[in-house]
Structure 1
Amino acid sequence: MQVQELAQQLALLSPLYFIGFPVLLVFAYLAYWGIYNAYFHPLRKFPGPLLARSSYIWYARNWIGGRWPHALSELHEKYGQVVRIAPDELTFSSAQSWRDIYGHSVKGKKYFRKTDWYAGVGDLPNSISTEPDPQKHSAMRRVLANAFSNSVLKTQADVIMGFLDMFVSQIRVHDKGEGICVEEWFNWLTFDIIGDLTFHESFGAVENAAQLHHNHGDSNPCLARPHFWISWIINGNFIRSLYPLFQKIPISRLFMRWIIPNMEDIREQRRQHIAYTKAKALKRASQTDVPTKDFFSFLLEKEDADKSDMFLTAQAHTLIIAGSETTAVTLTAMLAYLLRYPDKLRILNEEVRSAFSSKNEIDAEGTLPLQYLFAVIEETLRILPPVPFGLPRTCPGATIDGHVVPAGTIVSVSPYTASHDPQYWHDPEGWHPERWLAPEHPLHNPVFDMDNKEASRPFSTGPRVCLGVNLAYIELRMTVARLLWEFDIELLSKPIDWNTELKFFQFWKKVETRVKFTNRF
């Protein structure tokens, strides 16, 4: 009887009740979760916006909004050198926090493991940049470390010089006074160089510049791409930037088709990209008679190293991406800043042109003594770090810059914030190469003597410091020195403040930078 009465009462209820009650439960749970995160969570003592402390809303909005480095910088300016940016995540900006989080393990220092953030490329095994296990990573690094040593890279400077010869020739052919878009051309150059250095075969991007411009006519060659692999890497930055969001908010994957309507096309492009990379890697693995050592030589000659198809593909994928886009954005930014400050350009022109009597002298060794060129590179890397967001680590339970941080907390240092902190830099928003000059240099300015140079870590630090740092410096020195030795340069596109106006989607989104090159010879 009681069952019948209950059934009758339920039948009288509005259908809205059966919809509204579960919805109410969901909202009640979210409210409870938000209140707990904000006021009862182990990280409750750390400052930050309420939306960041209670939920992932602040994180999601700013991560996909294109202003992540600037948003973090604004938070640190408001809240200090440690800020809570998500319920389980802290960001730091102090020089000491670099050492505490990323530094080498010393007595009493626990290891900060890489988070699942690096597992975005699910169809490839872990590579030198994504492997979270410290022992496995050390083994990979030992195999590749010699490939990136200065002694080996010096022997490969001829490869870089060969591509620079071709690059200069193509500029002479195609710049008829209307200028060229260096943000694209530098991509072609860096992809070709890293392709050749990785598996002894370039992408033919610089060589195909002639056909590319012919096909596009007067439309907009700045939007042209000479190779589908390069296009996928550059165009896919926004898509790849969503992976961390999907990890933090798994339910967001349900809306992927609405966020990205052409998701199936993108997945197919991804499959083609991996297939092409695999084909290139296996082709190189089958070759035993390459005339000079490339990076794959070191992978293949190590007897106990993993030589499986997918492992080699993963390493190639990482080496190409890490060694191309970051260098290209820095080269573009260097020219943009030099053209914005003609007095700095004049100084560097004088240094470069007085140092060499022939283009053949502009190599890895010959550019080392150029102190002002070094200063221009360092200042560009400071004001616009090529990887400006904090690389996340899982805290094992440790003290970071005096703050006791519970185990399991995601922590990072914001490179952009640390390199713009007025506590460490005089006029941090200004581009001043002079801050990097030694006291004995005639252009040294003592106003920068109190700058804390350790706050700028564009290649990170510790056992996971960027493996390609030596190669990056060689490419930056040789490319800029060669261009300034061969040409007078002039900016034709609208000047912008690269520090404040650039958008960020995993990498900086470069803007059109059209430069006119006038032959000096």
Structure 2
Amino acid sequence: MNGYETFLKTDLMDFGAGDLGLIWESDPIKRKAVAKKILPAFSTKSLKAMEPIMHEYMDLFVTKMKQFGGKPDGLLMNDWVLWLATDMSADLAYNLEMQQMRDGKPSDLVTTLCGTSFVAMLMQLSKKLPLIALATPFFIPFKVLRKVPATLKTNSAQVKRRIDSRGKTRHPDFMDYMIHADGPPPSSKTDLIHMEQVALQLFIAGFDPVQIVLYASMFFLVKYPSTCATLTKEIRESFQIYEEMKPDSLGRLKYLNAFISEVFRVHLTVGTGMPRISPGATVDGVYVPTGVVCQVSSFTAMRSERYFRDPLEFHPARWLPQDHSLYDIKYADDNLKAFYPFGVGPRMCTGREIAWSQIRLFLGKVLWSFDLEAVSGHEKSFNRDFRVFVMWERPELYVRFLPARG
């Protein structure tokens, strides 16, 4: 069927029952019907309408760093980029103001979602090894287990609030495309549950990849001062005033784009594969029988010597065009086709453009405003100190934000 996947999604990455919403839906016809409703939310016109919200949260982050970021022991980036990404994603998904950055503390919703990563991995394993399912409850921290029902209730309540406020919201959001301002509310409980599932998935998909890249960007900037200096110089020389920075104008900065691409390559947002069921097909000259579950490890591919020179090292220069002054010919043979941080095919991430916009805005506004400084005593290694279950678990990263010097 044209436009539908032929290698169907397995249930290995599903974490729910009943209505599977958008991301977990394996039926290609059902999924395409849901995606068709949501896709306009990620159009150029829609992203332009939502751009002021992105500026609002980035500016608040900069304000908070001016207030608290200069102290000798710095600020914990694990918390602050998570609060930034989740505050912004909740507002863009369903006009929910979580106000974590304002209050300097996480919401129960975010704490619970981020606390289930290891458990989610066990749920995946139990689908292959059923005996593990018997032990899974013993690995769930009680404080997380206790909050799961409340978290689901919170999401349901926010969706109902958003339905009731249709046509009266502060700004456009993704739910505009699920329920129109002048449209009727869901006509059945089934429709309401579907909407709740999709909204929660859009919220999670909107914050997790972004907070991963924002954290990783800060990690590599303070780890490699010369890279940070080069990127800072490009940003500050490209604009006259802070207010000039927009996703479009930042998108023209070649070193900024190269830096972000290298962050995506070294610290891929999804550390697991995306398993698919073969319909019986030949792939790269090899026949894969019907029913065989297969997947590609993107994390391995992007860190493989088969495709990239010095694959475990961080070199933004590999992404620069030949006419750039920092172009390095030794990376000319890198196979950039192995780079697909947002996936490929019909299930490619529809939010890739908004993610790029958010990351560019973050780096532009932060490096325009501050000189970054690593806090001594907290040196970390990516290959030693990072772990991934379903979500990434990363070491504590403390950074100082000093007023920009010229």
Alignment of 1:393-408 (within 5 A): 393-408=276-291
Give the letter for the 2:59 counterpart: D
Further displaced range: 190-199 or 238-247 = 238-247
Assess if the C-alpha contact under 8 Å between 2:86 and 2:207 holds in 1. Answer: yes
- 1:333-368 CA distances to partner (integer Å, 9 max, x unpaired)? 112112211111111011000112222112212211
Number of the residue aligned with 1:424: 307
Assess if the C-alpha contact under 8 Å between 1:196 and 1:294 holds in 2. Answer: yes
Match among 490, 496, 501 for residue 380 of structure 2: 496
Of structures 1 and 2, the larger Rg is shown by 1
- 1:256 Cα deviation after fit: 3.0
Assess if the C-alpha contact under 8 Å between 1:392 and 1:411 holds in 2. Answer: yes
Assess if the C-alpha contact under 8 Å between 2:85 and 2:210 holds in 1. Answer: yes
How far apart, CA to CA, are the structure 2 residues paired with 1:497 and 1:257? Answer: 32
Assess if the C-alpha contact under 8 Å between 2:246 and 2:361 holds in 1. Answer: yes
- 1:110 Cα deviation after fit: 7.1
Assess if the C-alpha contact under 8 Å between 1:383 and 1:429 holds in 2. Answer: yes
- 1:380 Cα deviation after fit: 0.7
How far apart, CA to CA, are the structure 2 residues paired with 1:392 and 1:403? Answer: 17
Alignment of 1:7-406 (within 5 A): 111-122=6-17, 125-175=19-69, 176-209=71-104, 212=105, 226-260=106-140, 262=142, 266-287=144-165, 288-301=167-180, 308-406=191-289
How far apart, CA to CA, are the structure 1 residues paired with 2:366 and 2:258? Answer: 17
- 1:45-81 CA distances to partner (integer Å, 9 max, x unpaired)? xxxxxxxxxxxxxxxxxxxxxxxxxxxxxxxxxxxxx
Secondary structure at the counterpart of residue 39 of structure 2: helix
- 1:117 Cα deviation after fit: 1.2
How far apart, CA to CA, are the structure 2 residues paired with 1:105 and 1:455? Answer: 25
- 1:287-309 CA distances to partner (integer Å, 9 max, x unpaired)? 12224321000111397997722
Identify if the C-alpha distance between structure 1 residues 305 and 436 changes in structure 2 by more than 3 Å, giving closer, same or farther: farther
- 1:166-189 CA distances to partner (integer Å, 9 max, x unpaired)? 111111222223210112100000
Give the letter for the 1:488 counterpart: D
How far apart, CA to CA, are the structure 2 residues paired with 1:159 and 1:139? Answer: 28
Assess if the C-alpha contact under 8 Å between 2:308 and 2:334 holds in 1. Answer: yes
How far apart, CA to CA, are the structure 2 residues paired with 1:498 and 1:285? Answer: 43
Number of the residue aligned with 1:507: 391
Secondary structure at the counterpart of residue 301 of structure 1: coil
Assess if the C-alpha contact under 8 Å between 1:333 and 1:498 holds in 2. Answer: no
Give the letter for the 2:61 counterpart: F
Secondary structure at the counterpart of residue 388 of structure 2: strand
Secondary structure at the counterpart of residue 392 of structure 2: strand
Identify if the C-alpha distance between structure 1 residues 234 and 260 changes in structure 2 by more than 3 Å, giving closer, same or farther: closer
- 1:347-400 CA distances to partner (integer Å, 9 max, x unpaired)? 101100011222211221221111101000000100110102111111111112
- 1:188-229 CA distances to partner (integer Å, 9 max, x unpaired)? 0000111111111221111111xx4xxxxxxxxxxxxx2111
- 1:266 Cα deviation after fit: 4.0
How many residues were matched structurally?
398
- 1:468 Cα deviation after fit: 1.1
Match among 280, 284, 296 for residue 413 of structure 1: 296
- 1:8-33 CA distances to partner (integer Å, 9 max, x unpaired)? xxxxxxxxxxxxxxxxxxxxxxxxxx
- 1:392-444 CA distances to partner (integer Å, 9 max, x unpaired)? 11111111222111111111110111101111111111111011111111111
- 1:118 Cα deviation after fit: 3.2
Structure 2 length normalisation: TM-score? 0.93
Further displaced range: 371-380 or 396-405 = 396-405
Assess if the C-alpha contact under 8 Å between 1:390 and 1:415 holds in 2. Answer: yes
Number of the residue aligned with 1:220: none
Among all aligned residue pairs of Structure 1 and Structure 2, give the percentage whose two residues are the same amino acid: 28
How far apart, CA to CA, are the structure 2 residues paired with 1:105 and 1:171? Answer: 49
CA RMSD of aligned residues (A): 2.1
